[in-house]
A and B are shown apart, each in its own frame.
Chain A
Amino acid sequence: MSEMTLDAPEDEGAVTVNDNPVESAIARLKERFPDAVSDDPRDGYEGVIVDADKLIEVSEALRDDLGFEYLSSVTGVDLIDDGKLEVVYHVYNIEEGGSAVVMKAQTDRDNASLPSLVSVWPGADFQEREVWDMYGVHFEGHPDLRRILLWDGFKGHPLRKDWQEPFFEEEHKPFGSRWPGGSVARIEDSNPFGKNVQYPEGWLPTGDEYDVEIDMYPHEPAHREDESTRMVTDKVTVNMGPQHPSTHGVFRMVVELDGETVVSLKPVMGYLHRNHEKIGERNTFIQNIPYTDRLDYLSSMGNNLGYVLTIEKLLGSEVTERAEWIRILMAELTRIANHLWALGFLINDLGALQTPMLYFYLERELILDFFEAASGARLLCNYMRFGGVAYDLPDKVRETDTMTFLHDLIYENIPNVLDQGENLFVGNEIVRTRSIGVGVLTREDAIAYSAAGPVLRASGVQYDVRRAEPYSYYDKLDFDIPVRYNGDVYDRLLIRMDEMRQSLRILEQVLPHLKETEGMPVIGGKPQYAIRMPKAGEAYGRVENPKGELGYYVTAKRRDANPQRYHVRAPSFINLTALGKMCEGHKVADVVVILGSIDIVLGEVDR
């Protein structure tokens, strides 16, 4: 940090030198903005509350002078008791790692408005739109403040605590009609439409409803360039998705084209918005675990891990040794399974239809078989619990002894498929021509746009949560963080290969520990179902998921069985912020490849 700091504390002497970079940064901020920055006074909360007027200045100071240049997460919180809405920012130091400086800004619930931070961190773009959509906080100065997950014209801002959905039953689960005992009254019977809908009182359709799409397309007729020097062509707007085989689900892009060249690209999402957070705030803590499976449904084990880590932070529970090793085993196998899938699809997007994909999937099936034997489910495993994991490893997988199966998997099957993939694709001329120099994201842009995971690391930033802020037993393991520097599609392909090799290295170290700890308990304490928070507070837990940094922001009140606020920082969603930038100037066929190289999963994008 020293060379980035303009006013080093040693020179001033006013601030006590502190080893903890976060604390010293906060002290520095308070010194510089004594009126605007103050500690969060609430018990169990961390970070600072920043005056809305000074928010931009404080952020700039944090980014430029203190080295906290990576805005990871932006989210809203409804403080209904105080009549306020709060927006929470988590900012990290990329160079040094460590935990976040948490900034909070508050505004009134009526006429909620805050300055937009897009000018400081372009990565705030989609996240601020989400906060506007969900909470109705108006961000002054945001370039394109539209709803993002719902459609324009939707009534209300659903994550506000006083907003109720059509199928609303009770504020919190478990619902009285079902537990304990009880008879279930079907909620749809009470709805006059028999469907999950509600309309404002006295509302009649007028025909205006048809116009919800209008904002998606550029209004002005195509702008004409200097007519003397070049052929005059109109720009064409092409809509790709939401049903399009290349979009990996229900994702949509509105692409403005000049000939075949992309002039601008706007992602449109929300077609799989399943209200994860609203449902999560009604659920009890443990009920949320299976829901996290359905975020990034290709790496359910990783999602579980992030969530249980966060709640364990709040609960202060201990995890047994064997459980930690099993968790790492599962998380790394998930990473391999996910990357195999992602590479298969990327090659598919490059035009090698289906066949290469099948090569990768066979080995992925082996991993899924192991998951099924361990947890009972192939895909959505619901395996981790607070304090450990649900079950110990099975005795047998596919009729083979588990340890032998794992050994074969780690030392034979997966390395083989990686070698095969390398032979077939890495040097392949078509792959190289189509991906080298395509979709370049520079180091500066990657940081500014809050890109995470392989996308960030392919742009030359060696940042991985497993090393930057180690969780579980990752600090005891020996592995490298692969990094590549060109930031194009080819590097993103290669970095996934590298990451799988590193995961294998980790797994090789985990196996002996699994043997050693055999028979030890896999969950600490006795399994709890109705968990109540011992104390009020907030927690932000993050893990390095295959797609990037997956974070959970949870706040809870004392003695509560349900989270007060439950937010997911989804790497796929935030990585998409840079998509428009990456695609500009490329051909429309490259858009498909660039999207494939980001590796999104819609369950996580839309939540």
Chain B
Amino acid sequence: MTSQTDPSAGSDITVPDELQNNVVITNIAKVLDPVYNWGRRNSVWPMVFGLACCAIEMICTAASRYDLARFGMEVFRATPRQSDLMIISGTVTKKMVPTIVRLYNQMPEPRYVMSMGACASGGGPFKEGYNVVDGIDKFLPVDVYVPGCPPTPQALINGLIALQEKIGQQSIATVPWYSKQGDEFTGAVPIPVLGPDLVDLRQIDIIREEAAKAETNDTAVEETAESAMPEAA
């Protein structure tokens, strides 16, 4: 590049004839996004994180026949600190979800979540179960949903390509994790706790309301009983 890299400079600069083939003058934002995205898109490192039956198909996808390495994704990391992508591959249970949220919080941004299979997307066949979370999107922001029970390796690869396209369209200028205020999905998600049932700490207000309702119901019943008594008397 020439020494003048000021993006506002535009085409005012005269490039000497002998350098015509070696110099491109452009706007930095136009260059940076594609280069940056190209790099990230083609080396997405998923986390080794199997939950249930879908994980078996995930492993098959990584194995030689379907060969995820073709997409630069073969580097499965066992630690969240080194991974970009969390594939939620299976049923999310209430007992497990605090761990999943904690793992998500430990991943460095930019990070992506893929919901693989019916269970992770909405509870699937086990939706009504008392220990089942009906979809990981109740807790984490999901980027790509892959349908299926289990999705075939082809479907998973399709989902990963969709994720690559999504990454390819992002711009450093607008993605939430580089902006000052972020959005609702940046930063840590409060880790749910296990009480008599799973407690989502973001729902404390609704829980309070419901608890108060139960109390007013009780007092209301008592009051009506009391007010009814003198009338009857």
Contacts and interface: CB of A to CB of B under 8 A. Distances in A.
Centre residue among A153, A270, A379 by max chain B CB count within 10 A: A379
Given A243-B99, A294-B125, A603-B52, A272 B63 contact: no
Contact of B51 (A151, A205, A249, A282): A249
Given A271-B93, A274-B93, A358 B64 contact: yes
Contacts of B133: 195-196
B90 to A, nearest CB: 7
Nearest to A291: B125
A534 to B, nearest CB: 28
B130 A212 contact: no
Contacts of B134: 167, 188, 195-196
Contacts of B50: 248-250
B53 A380 contact: yes
Nearest to A368: B60
- What bracket does the count of chain A residues touching chain B fall in? 35 or more
A408 interface: no
Contacts of A378: 57, 152
Interface string A298-326: 10000000000000000000000000000
B143 interface: no
A602 B56 CA distance: 12
A272 B199 CA distance: 18
A281 to B, nearest CB: 12
A380 B99 contact: no
B15 to A, nearest CB: 51
B230 interface: no
B46 interface: no
B198 interface: yes
Contacts of A581: none
B121 interface: no
Given A196-B123, A210-B193, A165 B128 contact: yes
A250 B96 contact: yes
B119 to A, nearest CB: 8
A273 interface: yes
B95 A151 contact: yes
B204 interface: yes
A511 interface: no
Interface stretch (B1-9, B22-30, B159-167, B205-213): B205-213
16 contacts: A151-B194, A155-B197, A167-B134, A168-B128, A188-B134, A197-B199, A199-B210, A200-B196, A203-B211, A244-B78, A270-B131, A273-B95, A274-B132, A298-B56, A361-B65, A603-B52
Interface of B: 48-53, 55-57, 60, 63-65, 78, 90-91, 93-96, 99, 103, 123, 125-134, 138, 149-150, 152, 193-200, 203-204, 206-208, 210-211, 214-215, 218
6 closest Cβ pairs, A-B complex: A275-B129, A209-B195, A165-B130, A297-B53, A155-B196, A202-B214
Given A196-B94, A203-B207, A210-B193, 12 more contacts: A154-B194, A192-B210, A197-B94, A199-B196, A199-B210, A202-B211, A212-B194, A245-B48, A248-B50, A249-B55, A271-B96, A272-B93
